[in-house]
Chain A
Amino acid sequence: MTEPSFAEDITGSPTAAPPLRAHSPEVSAAKARRWGAFYYAEQVLRVMKGYGWSIFLYSVGQPAAYLFAMGVGLATLVDTNTTVFGGVSYIAFIAPALLISAAVMTAATEFTFPVMDGFRWRRVYYAPHASPLTPEQIAGGQIIAVTFRFLLQSVIYFVIVAMFGASPSGWGWGSVVVATLAGLSFGLPLMAYAASIKEDKGQFAMVMRFIVMPLFLFSGTFFPLDTLPVVVRWIGWISPIWHGTELGRVMTYGYEESPVLTIVHVVFLLGLAWLGWVLTKRQFVKRMGQ
């Protein structure tokens, strides 16, 4: 028996010049131009699947722990004065805040370290960059995948909130969308910043300590923003957590606020997300085109 030729080896066909079986480069380019961001999102989701259990446990464990500790434990101390909390139970008051904060905290993780990994540590962005995908699509794909995670995580969170009876309104599910929007609103400017970092000097730990944590604590999460002194209230005004939380409260228990303010929340969150996207695209194109 003779040795198989190389052509047989690689193509299964005994011809010297095997016909191309992949679609043509023109088709590849056309498909990539149209769907490229989704192709990269697929890759990020495959990687996420590798630590899917951690995501699931985090998504279930965090709301369960917070709602039990704050909503059941701490609530026994604060529930006597419900007028401060808009006439609802303390657990109903903090539930949307925790939901939105969880999305923002996920954003602080998913839009920092993986970006550094993509450009610097393992340089994973440079593999798709050599394919028909563009830098904008690589950034977009990562955002699509993380948005999917926000949605999934927020749905789980909301189901647990509902199980605690902390979302009396029929519009409560809308807080899932709000949480996703808040995650993007905080995450996309952060992604642009992460994409600009050439060397890791602990910047992301600083972001967690000095940006995420103060925003979490001073965004009307555990008490209404107007109970804070005016000098620190601005933290809430510039915080996606506060804007998201207020919107979430409108959704979950019909919190009454001026419709103008509701519009401001939406515009603020959308505007910040849009600005973050523009800056992220610019950074990705600049960094990958050098």
Chain B
Amino acid sequence: MPAKAAGAAPPQYVITAENLTKTYGDVTAVDGISFSVPAGESFGLLGPNGAGKSTTMKMIGGVAQRTSGSLTIMGLDPEQHGPEVRAHLGVVPQQDNLDEELKVRDNLLVYGRYFGLPMSYLRPKADELLEFAQLTDKAKSKVDALSGGMKRRLTIARSLINEPRILLLDEPTTGLDPQARHILWDRLFRLKEQGVTLILTTHYMDEAEQLCDRLIVVDKGRIMAEGSPASLIREYSTREVLELRFGSERNASIAAELEGIGERLETLPDRVLIYTNDGEGALEEVSGRGLRPLASLVRRSSLEDVFLRLTGRSLVD
């Protein structure tokens, strides 16, 4: 096992993982993954539920011990320097764990105290963050009174109380309605503009595309691919995708008649996907063969297509 670092020199990367592995009994949740994240980057872990994303985040956050491999955050090993590593981080867990018995503003104050921050700093900072999270008018409300989106924003505000330069976000918008997601994305994008390093897990491809400079596609604890959203799409998919629906009974049988159209064909239970650089042209070719789909759609390729190509499965199974 590589030596655990406790370096003092400013690190080139804020996070470096090599052959990071975590097993629970016979189950390997994270299977030897390696990646590095430079300061200021927005780095994503994209994968379905159970891919090992949250476990990786827990190891980065210094709250779960790795089974093997090496991991440094700001040059420090989280297992040896847990408090020092966690003092650098802001953490937004998958499940909100706000203190529901305290008022909204008090949640921020109490959390700031865990970092030894004085009240003279925390009071104005809490007000500032409530403003940032658009929760100023809820400052004196109990947490129970907040909607799901508001609780999520409060959790993000709480994670910023120590002005972290690295923010860990585990499925930040899961369970939120589209409007709440967009508000959150806007807030996160602002932090990114400010130079905060964002480490994000998600199983939403649009979220990954919106927020990540670079990402790793993870499945069954392993990295399937790495790159920017655009480069991954270029590498593993075509420019456009033609989606055809012939009815769930007929999709598979008609697929054979579509052979030769576009570069690649994927048959899913509910639709057939034709990967091509010219979606409209492919649709004309389908019509030219006398096939009449119940519905058709030409769209740009997305990370969903990348994932499908890499694993043969959809992201949200």
Contact = CB atoms under 8 A, between A and B. Distances in A.
A130 B117 contact: no
A259 interface: no
Contacts of B235: none
Given A23-B116, A128-B114, A131-B111, A122 B93 contact: no
Interface stretch (B125-133, B177-185, B217-225): B125-133
Given A25-B88, A32-B87, A127 B106 contact: no
A29 B99 CA distance: 22
Given A6-B194, A123-B97, A36 B114 contact: yes
A17 B89 CA distance: 18
Interface of A: 6-7, 9-12, 17-18, 20-23, 25-33, 35-36, 39-40, 42-43, 46-47, 50, 122-124, 126-134, 288-290
A131 B131 contact: no
A262 B191 CA distance: 62
Contact of A289 (B65, B115, B116): B65
Contact of B114 (A18, A22, A133): A133
A124 B65 contact: no
A288 B115 CA distance: 19
Counting chain A CB atoms within 10 Å of each CB, the highest count among B89, B97, B125, B158 belongs to B97
B199 interface: no
Given A31-B115, A127-B99, A132 B87 contact: yes
Contacts of A25: 74, 84, 87-88, 162, 164
A62 B97 CA distance: 34
Contacts of B106: 46
B86 A131 contact: yes
Closest 6 CB pairs of A and B: A31-B116, A131-B114, A25-B87, A132-B83, A130-B91, A28-B87
A28 B117 contact: yes
Contacts of A27: 116
Given A26-B87, A131-B114, 14 more contacts: A10-B129, A21-B125, A22-B115, A28-B116, A29-B84, A30-B116, A35-B116, A43-B114, A126-B63, A127-B97, A130-B86, A131-B162, A132-B116, A289-B65
B113 A42 contact: yes
Contacts of B162: 22, 25, 28, 131
A17 B193 CA distance: 9
Pick the most buried of A12, A32, A127, A290: most chain B CB atoms within 10 A of its CB.
A127
A18 B193 CA distance: 12
A99 B98 CA distance: 35
B102 A46 contact: yes
B99 A22 contact: no
A123 B93 CA distance: 11
5 contacts: A25-B74, A32-B114, A123-B97, A134-B83, A290-B64
A220 to B, nearest CB: 38
Contacts of A12: 128
Contact of A124 (B83, B97, B117, B161): B97
Interface in B160-217: 161-164, 190, 193-195
Contacts of A129: 63
Nearest to B190: A6
Interface residues of B, number: 46
B102 A50 contact: yes
Contacts of A126: 63, 93, 97
A39 B114 contact: yes
Contact of A22 (B101, B125, B131): B125
A28 B115 contact: yes
A10 B195 contact: no
Q: Looking at B106, B110, B131, which has the most chain A CB atoms within 10 Å of its CB?
A: B110
Given A126-B97, A127-B99, A10 B84 contact: no
Nearest to B113: A39
B100 interface: yes
Given A10-B194, A132-B114, A134-B83, A47 B101 contact: yes
Given A31-B116, A32-B114, A21 B87 contact: no
A7 B193 CA distance: 9
B95 interface: yes
B8 to A, nearest CB: 11
B95 A26 contact: no
A22 to B, nearest CB: 4
Contact of B95 (A123, A128, A134): A123
Contact of A32 (B95, B116, B161, B163): B116
A287 to B, nearest CB: 11
Contacts of A50: 101-102
A133 B74 CA distance: 18
A254 B84 CA distance: 52
A36 B164 CA distance: 19
